[in-house]
C-alpha cells in the first residue's frame, strides 16, 4: 500500500445511497485475492471558499461504499500553493494506481505538474516493474472547465462512477518553457495578454464564485492596450501579429467559467488549438460575449484559429507587461514557448 503521510478514509454514516461494491473494476483480478488498488485523493479543503472541504467530507461515505474493499483509499489535504505537486510526485514514486484531484481546475493543474520532474515523467521507485499511475478528477471547486470538454457534469457522484469503471485513455499535456526557466505544464488552456490579466485579477475574488471572472475582466479592461506580438508556429518563420487583444492556446476547450474559447481543441488530438483575438475593443466583448461562450466566435472578424504542435510568442516592443497564465494560474510575462506532449499521461475517463 502507498505509505504517503496521509489519512486512510474511515467509515462514516453515508449521506448518499448505499450501493454494493462493483465487480467491473478494470484492474480487478479474477483470483480469490486480487491486489487492492492504491487511490490517492488530493483535496484542497479551502477551495471554493471552503466548500470543497465541506463537500468532500460529505462524499467520503459514498466513495467508500462504491469502491468497497477493492481499493486502498487515501486522502491528503493540501496546506498551500504547490503542495499538491509534491504529494503527487510522492504518490507516483510509491506506485499509486491513480492520483485523483479533488477540487477545481487549480488543484487539477498542480496535480498534472506533479506528474513531471526535471522535464521527465515521474516514475515508481522500482523502475524494473512497469507501472503507470493514472490521473483522476472529482470536480468540487469554483471552476471545472476541463471537465466540460469531455461533457462531464459538475457532479462528484458521476466522477466516482468513472473511478469505479476505471477506464483509461491517454491524454495530451501542454508544456510551457522560457529560456533559463523551469518547465511548466498545463492540461486545459494557456493564454496571453487580456484574458491572462483577467484571470490574474479573478484569482483575488474566488470567494464570489464564478462572478470572480466578471470582476477580473472588468479590472483587466482598465488601461488595457492591444499589443503587436511576434509569433512563430511549428518552428517556422517569425510573423508579426498586430494589435493582439488575447491569444489562447487550448489543449481543451473551455476556460473562465465556461467560455468555449478554443472550440476545436481536445486532449486526445495531439495538437494545440491557437486562437488569436486582434484589435478588440471593450464593446466588442459585450456584443460578442455570447459567441465566446458558445464557441461560435471563430467566424468573427479579427479572430484567427489554427492547429499547432508548438508556438513561440514574444513582444515586438519589450514592455515586460504581457501576462501569461495556464489553467488559471499566473506564470509571469512574455516571452514563452508552448508545446504539446501527445499522450503524455493516462487519465481515468
Catalytic residue from among 38, 70, 105, 327: 105
Cell of 158: 458521476
Q: Prior bond to 335 cis, omega within 30?
A: yes
Longest Cα–Cα distance of the chain, Å, equals: 68
DSSP 15: S
The Cα 98–Cα 183 span in angstroms is 23
Helix (H) and strand (E) counts for the chain? 8, 18
**Beta pairing class for 168-177 and 303-308:** unpaired
> Which cell goes with 222?
482598465
How many beta carbons lie within 10 A of that of residue 283, not counting itself? 8
Give the span between the Cα atoms of 242 and 237, in whole angstroms: 16
Block residue for cell numbers 488530493:
42
State how far the Cα of 186 lies from the Cα of 171, in Å rounded to an integer. Answer: 12
How far out from the chain centre does Cα 85 lie?
Answer: 13
CA dist 270 and 73 (Å) reads 33
323, 90 in Cβ contact below 8 A? no
284 catalytically annotated: no
d(CA 54, CA 107): 16
Burial of 18 (0-12, 13-18, 19+ CB in 10 A): exposed
Q: Which residues are catalytic?
A: 105
Amino acid at each position: 500500500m502507498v505509505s504517503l503521510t496521509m489519512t486512510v478514509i474511515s467509515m462514516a454514516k453515508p449521506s448518499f445511497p448505499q450501493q454494493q461494491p462493483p465487480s467491473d473494476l478494470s484492474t480487478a483480478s479474477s483470483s480469490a485475492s486480487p491486489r487492492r488498488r492504491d487511490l490517492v485523493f488530493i483535496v484542497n479543503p479551502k477551495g471554493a471558499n471552503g466548500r470543497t472541504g465541506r463537500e468532500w467530507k460529505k462524499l467520503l461515505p459514498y466513495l467508500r461504499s462504491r469502491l468497497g474493499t477493492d481499493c486502498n483509499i487515501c486522502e491528503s489535504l493540501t496546506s498551500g500553493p504547490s503542495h499538491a505537486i509534491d504529494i503527487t510526485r510522492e504518490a507516483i514514486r510509491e506506485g499509486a494506481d491513480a492520483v485523483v484531484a479533488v477540487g477545481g481546475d487549480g488543484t487539477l493543474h498542480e496535480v498534472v505538474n506533479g506528474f513531471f520532474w526535471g522535464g521527465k515523467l515521474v516514475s515508481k521507485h522500482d523502475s524494473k516493474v512497469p507501472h503507470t499511475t493514472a490521473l483522476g478528477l472529482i470536480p468540487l471547486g469554483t471552476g471545472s472547465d476541463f471537465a466540460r470538454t469531455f461533457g462531464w457534469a459538475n457532479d462528484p457522484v458521476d466522477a466516482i462512477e468513472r473511478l469505479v469503471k476505471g477506464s483509461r485513455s491517454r491524454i495530451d499535456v501542454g508544456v510551457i518553457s522560457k529560456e533559463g526557466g523551469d518547465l511548466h505544464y498545463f492540461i486545459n488552456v494557456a493564454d496571453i495578454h487580456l484574458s491572462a490579466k483577467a484571470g490574474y485579477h479573478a484569482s483575488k475574488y474566488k470567494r464570489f464564485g464564478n462572478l470572480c471572472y466578471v470582476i477580473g475582466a472588468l479590472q483587466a479592461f482598465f488601461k488595457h492596450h492591444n499589443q503587436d506580438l511576434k509569433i512563430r508556429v511549428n518552428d517556422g518563420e517569425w510573423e508579426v501579429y498586430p494589435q493582439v487583444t488575447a491569444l489562447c492556446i487550448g489543449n481543451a476547450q473551455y476556460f473562465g467559467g465556461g467560455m468555449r474559447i478554443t472550440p476545436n481543441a481536445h486532449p486526445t488530438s495531439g495538437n494545440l488549438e491557437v486562437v488569436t483575438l486582434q484589435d478588440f475593443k471593450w464593446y466588442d466583448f459585450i456584443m460578442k460575449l455570447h459567441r465566446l461562450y458558445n464557441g461560435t466566435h471563430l467566424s468573427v472578424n479579427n479572430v484567427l484559429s489554427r492547429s499547432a504542435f508548438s508556438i513561440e510568442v514574444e513582444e515586438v516592443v519589450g514592455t515586460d507587461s504581457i501576462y501569461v497564465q495556464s489553467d488559471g494560474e499566473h506564470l509571469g510575462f512574455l516571452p514563452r514557448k508552448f508545446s504539446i506532449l501527445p499522450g503524455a499521461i493516462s487519465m481515468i475517463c
